[in-house]
């Protein structure tokens, strides 16, 4: 199984966004996590197509685009055209989730589905075979800097068991409160892709990323 660090630019310095992304990439981060928030599905607004297009010029790393927006199916083609390599949809935000998944695949992009902390795994029952990744939110979405919700450990374990029982080579991504201190434990629970925001971008980005990667690989 491949283990991947995906630093979240939500915690980067937006006045120096391209520079911060390059620092994270040059330090060894395999993916770049891009949180798109609309102020409706979550109580915050972040960024859109022009910013993603601009960042695409700065690095060839995988753009892991996390859509925290209402009815994401309306904008799939635009996000793919902007440079997304993987698009994650929230199960709670798409009225017709299966249709939105098929839209992403038809646009030539990998697709993930995200679950908020209170959303049960049964929401994945009929679409798990259709997707490349599940993103388990380990905080309530909308803001960076929150603490990891320990109760999500079992949810990650249960999802890995579900995938294994179906014979699926499923990526499990975790987003929220990931640090160098707990990334090893989260890995043991069954996750293999780790989103780190504050732990990556607050302070010395290069040193932070290398510390996270070391802890992830141990």
Residues marked as catalytic: 35, 175
Question: Distance between CA atoms of 168 and 146, rounded to whole angstroms?
Answer: 31
Q: Which residue has the tokens 């909308």?
A: 142
Q: Which residue has the tokens 């891009």?
A: 34
Is 102 exposed, middle or buried (CB count within 10 Å of its CB: 0-12, 13-18, 19+)? middle
Is 95 exposed, middle or buried (CB count within 10 Å of its CB: 0-12, 13-18, 19+)? exposed
* DSSP bridge partners of 1: none
Q: Quick one: which H or E segment has residue 110?
A: strand 110-115
Q: Which residue has the tokens 């989103």?
A: 195
Q: Which residue has the tokens 């060894």?
A: 28
């Amino acid at each position: 199984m491949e283990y991947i660090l995906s630093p979240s630019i939500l915690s980067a310095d937006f006045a120096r966004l391209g520079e911060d992304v390059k620092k994270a990439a040059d330090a060894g981060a395999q993916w770049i996590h891009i949180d798109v928030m609309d102020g409706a599905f979550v109580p915050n607004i972040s960024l859109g197509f022009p910013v993603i297009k601009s960042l695409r010029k700065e690095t060839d790393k995988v753009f892991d685009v996390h859509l925290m927006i209402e009815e994401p199916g309306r904008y799939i083609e635009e996000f793919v055209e902007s440079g997304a390599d993987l698009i994650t949809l929230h199960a709670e935000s798409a009225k017709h989730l299966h249709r939105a998944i098929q839209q992403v695949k038809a646009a030539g992009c990998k697709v993930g589905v995200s679950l908020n902390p209170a959303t049960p795994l049964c929401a994945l029952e009929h679409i798990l075979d259709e997707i490349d990744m599940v993103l388990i939110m380990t905080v309530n979405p909308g803001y960076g800097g929150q603490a990891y919700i320990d109760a999500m450990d079992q949810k990650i374990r249960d999802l890995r068991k579900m995938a294994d029982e179906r014979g699926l080579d499923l990526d499990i991504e975790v987003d929220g409160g990931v640090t160098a201190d707990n990334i090893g434990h989260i890995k043991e629970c069954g996750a293999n892709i780790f989103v780190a925001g504050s732990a990556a971008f607050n302070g010395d980005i290069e040193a932070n990323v290398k510390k996270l990667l070391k802890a992830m690989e141990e």
